[in-house]
Amino acid sequence: MNVKIKICGLTSIDDVEACVSSKVDYVGFVFHKGSKRNLTFYEATEIASRIPKNIQKVALLVDPSDSDLKKLLLEFKPDILQLHGNETPTQVSRIRKKYGLPIIKSVSMSSEKDLKKIEEYTNVVDQLLIDASKPDTKCPPGGNGVSFDWELISGYKWKIPWLLAGGLNFRNVRQALTVSGASQLDVSSGVESQPGIKDRNLIRNFAYAARSENHNG
């Protein structure tokens, strides 16, 4: 199994260099004021200038307005949009058609009943990101270090690609891949020394653990 890796919430050139060194597949930049990883479009553009073309830049937004999206595309120029708010399938479809970029939609998973809700997005997005529900309504979307019961999606087949997120780290990545059946992983807090601060060694260890699964899968 060829496992792809996304490191989300980059905030510095050092973060980018660590991701490039570990040969990840996607890097994510957060544009949400409630997050410790929030950046301005200008800051993200400066940091992203070191990213080679073989690594895709993902812009994470929460319920973005058209003005936000227009400014983002003008200043930052992402490869993929990741919608991490309460965007409905109709809203997501409109954004995808209007701006012409691939879309990853983050959806929360806490019980079997969420599977039906997730299915509603499969015709309007390019990829899904299956994440744990927020531990508290005041928590920012993503990067909370909380996982869900991977057995809930074990053996489940979506018709589009998807990423597993929530509480991942180099210690549990092999179990996460085995139980969930994921072939793509998204990690943020699991490669940080403290909230919002990425750790080069943890990024390397996570990538190594996931790639070890490549050889064993």
Domains of the chain plus CATH, in order, are 4-216 (3.20.20.70)
Would you say 126 and 102 are in contact if contact means Cβ atoms under 8 Å apart? yes
Would you say 25 and 6 are in contact if contact means Cβ atoms under 8 Å apart? yes
* Nearest C-alpha neighbor of 166 from the set 206, 201, 133, 210: 133
* Nearest C-alpha neighbor of 24 from the set 37, 9, 7: 7
Other beta carbons less than 10 A from residue 42's beta carbon:
10
Which pLDDT score, from 0 to 100, does residue 135 have? 53
Which pLDDT score, from 0 to 100, does residue 155 have? 87
Query: Residue 53 is which amino acid?
Result: K
User: Across the 217 residues of the chain, what is the mean pLDDT of every consecutive 10-residue run?
Assistant: 93 97 98 94 95 97 97 96 96 98 95 91 97 62 71 92 96 95 96 95 97 63
Would you state the structure tokens that stand for residue 137, as one six-digit string?
């309504």
